[in-house]
């Protein structure tokens, strides 16, 4: 099978065995066999973050945004109010979802690429006693920034604010231990660092907090968190038709994660990141963020100021060589982005570095 090196922030390059897991015999998703598979997948999803004692997973058919919308629309009561951290496109998307449902909110808005100041967030918590929930992105792929998860969670604990963390592009890529970082609702999907196929998202919810949402009148049907959770608890099945083959592939991806281990996966990703940075330095390229703020899963690179540079032309050059690179997304400087997640390693980044230097020399960009 032809292998493409995807350096976009998901869907990511997958193993052949994950692809092969899609090729299963046709099965009705209401059969007990598929129900047992679903339960296994949900248990494994929680085990990735060591949340077995305190958390449960609710799974949805849909992209990561479905999981975000499910959480945001389901957990804030009518008398509640949510604080949104917007320092990238996905914080902004959370705000758009909240606005669509008419949920009371406040936005702490930063320039995309600015690091959140924890003291400023605390001042907002002190000032606004109506706040009950706080949503922020862990790894903001607009810029490759890793927001300060432990510090923000500590504020939530201190002020008794429920935390909603969009961990779409950090779950399974970076260590997250629910025993040490008690996130109330963590959201991710099947096609990022867990290295499955696109098509499902999930919310890993604190069991006690989730149970309290049963008292909130549903704002929707398909994405209601408690409705989906209670249905699968009673029947062992998805409430609505699942993407059967995608669930089989996710199960395979989870098994492969546990074989590699979190330590092993993070180390592989970090080595790829370090290899990438070596190549960028040789090419004379500038990074958008200081290294201390890097997720080490995606890097935003300031576009070179050269008449020979054109992103789409460069994209096509790489695509012809079986590598996908990614454009910028509205950060404070014009960038292109290189992710190093998925079933790739430092050798793939060496290939990228070599092609980048060759392209820059040919176009006289260096």
pLDDT band at 330 (very low <50, low <70, confident <90, very high): confident
Taking the C-alpha atoms of residue 181 and residue 286, their distance in angstroms, rounded to an integer, is: 33
The verdict on residue 269 lying in a domain is yes
pLDDT for residue 1 is more than 90? no
pLDDT for residue 366 is more than 90? no
Give the Cβ contact number of residue 337 at 10 Å. 22
Q: Which of 250, 289, 296, 280 is nearest to 350 (CA)?
A: 280
pLDDT for residue 331 is more than 90? no
The verdict on residue 6 lying in a domain is no
Last residue of a domain, one of 211, 233, 259: 259
266 shares a domain with 255: no
Which tens digits make up the pLDDT trace of 251-310?
Answer: 999 999 999 999 999 999 999 999 999 999 999 999 999 999 999 999 999 999 999 999
Which tens digits make up the pLDDT trace of 137-196?
Answer: 999 999 999 999 999 999 999 999 999 999 999 999 999 999 999 899 999 999 999 999
Residue 148 phi/psi, 5-degree rounding, is -75, 80
The verdict on residue 235 lying in a domain is yes
Q: What is the CATH number of the domain that holds 280?
A: 3.90.1150.10
Which tens digits make up the pLDDT trace of 193-247?
Answer: 999 999 999 999 999 999 999 999 999 999 999 999 999 999 999 999 999 999 9
173 shares a domain with 44: yes
61 shares a domain with 38: yes
282 shares a domain with 340: yes
Last residue of a domain, one of 206, 233, 259: 259
Q: Which residues contact 264 (CB under 8 A, 6 or more apart)?
A: none
- With contact defined as beta carbons under 8 Å apart, do 145 and 113 qualify? yes
225 shares a domain with 290: no
- Overall average pLDDT of the 34-52 stretch: 97
52 shares a domain with 173: yes
What is the DSSP secondary structure assignment for residue 277, as one 8-state letter?
H
267 shares a domain with 196: no
The verdict on residue 13 lying in a domain is no
270 shares a domain with 358: yes
Which tens digits make up the pLDDT trace of 100-150?
Answer: 999 999 999 999 999 999 999 999 999 999 999 999 999 999 999 999 999
189 shares a domain with 226: yes
206 shares a domain with 162: yes
pLDDT above 90 as % of the chain: 97
pLDDT for residue 362 is more than 80? yes
pLDDT band at 3 (very low <50, low <70, confident <90, very high): very high
The verdict on residue 14 lying in a domain is no
- Overall average pLDDT of the 33-55 stretch: 97
- Overall average pLDDT of the 6-18 stretch: 97
3-state secondary structure of 308: coil
Q: How many domains is the chain partitioned into structurally?
A: 2
Tokens of 111: 């320039």
Q: What is the CATH number of the domain that holds 184?
A: 3.40.640.10
Full domain range(s) for residue 322: 262-362
Residue 151 phi/psi, 5-degree rounding, is -65, -40
**Beta-carbon-side half-sphere exposure of residue 41 (alpha carbons within 13 Å):** 32
The verdict on residue 5 lying in a domain is no
Q: Which residue has the higher pLDDT, 329 or 269?
A: 269
Q: How does 243-255 read in b/e, with b if 16+ C-beta sit within 10 Å?
A: bbbbbbbbbbbbe
86 shares a domain with 221: yes
pLDDT above 70 as % of the chain: 100
Per-residue model confidence (pLDDT) at position 161: 98
pLDDT band at 16 (very low <50, low <70, confident <90, very high): very high
Per-residue model confidence (pLDDT) at position 241: 95
Last residue of a domain, one of 217, 236, 259: 259
Which tens digits make up the pLDDT trace of 74-106?
Answer: 999 999 999 999 999 999 999 999 999 999 999
The verdict on residue 335 lying in a domain is yes
299 shares a domain with 213: no
The verdict on residue 241 lying in a domain is yes
Regarding pTM above 0.95, the answer is yes
Q: Which of 318, 323, 277 is nearest to 301 (CA)?
A: 277
């Amino acid at each position: 099978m032809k292998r493409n090196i995807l350096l976009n922030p998901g869907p990511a390059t997958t193993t052949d065995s994950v692809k092969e897991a899609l090729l299963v015999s046709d099965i009705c998703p209401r059969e007990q066999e598929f129900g047992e598979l679903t339960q296994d997948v949900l248990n494994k999803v929680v085990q990735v973050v060591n949340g077995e004692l305190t958390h449960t997973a609710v799974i949805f058919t849909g992209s990561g945004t479905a999981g975000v919308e499910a959480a945001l629309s389901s957990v804030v009561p009518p008398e509640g109010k949510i604080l949104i951290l917007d320092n990238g496109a996905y914080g902004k998307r959370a705000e758009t979802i909240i606005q669509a449902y008419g949920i009371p909110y406040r936005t702490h808005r930063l320039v995309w690429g600015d690091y959140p100041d924890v003291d400023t967030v605390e001042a907002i918590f002190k000032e606004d006693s109506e706040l009950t929930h706080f949503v922020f992105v862990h790894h903001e792929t607009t810029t490759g920034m890793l927001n300060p998860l432990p510090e923000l969670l500590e504020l939530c604990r201190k002020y008794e604010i429920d935390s909603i963390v969009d961990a779409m592009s950090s779950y399974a890529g970076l260590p997250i231990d629910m025993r040490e970082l008690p996130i109330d609702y963590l959201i991710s999907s099947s096609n990022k660092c867990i290295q499955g196929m696109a098509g499902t998202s999930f919310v890993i919810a604190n069991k006690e907090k989730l149970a309290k949402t049963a008292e909130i009148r549903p704002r929707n049907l398909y994405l209601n968190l408690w409705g989906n959770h209670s249905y699968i608890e009673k029947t062992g099945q998805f409430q609505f038709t699942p993407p059967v083959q995608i669930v089989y592939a996710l199960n395979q991806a989870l098994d492969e994660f546990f074989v590699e281990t979190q330590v092993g996966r993070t180390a592989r990703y970090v080595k790829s990141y370090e290899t990438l940075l070596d190549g960028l330095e040789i090419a004379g390229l500038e990074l958008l963020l200081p290294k201390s703020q890097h997720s080490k899963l995606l890097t935003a690179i300031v576009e070179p100021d050269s008449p020979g540079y054109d992103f789409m032309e460069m994209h096509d050059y790489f695509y012809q060589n079986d590598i996908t690179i990614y454009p910028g997304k509205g950060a404070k400087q014009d960038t292109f982005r290189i992710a190093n997640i998925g079933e790739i390693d430092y050798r793939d980044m060496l290939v990228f570095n070599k092609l980048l230097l060759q392209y820059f020399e040919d176009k006289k960009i260096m």
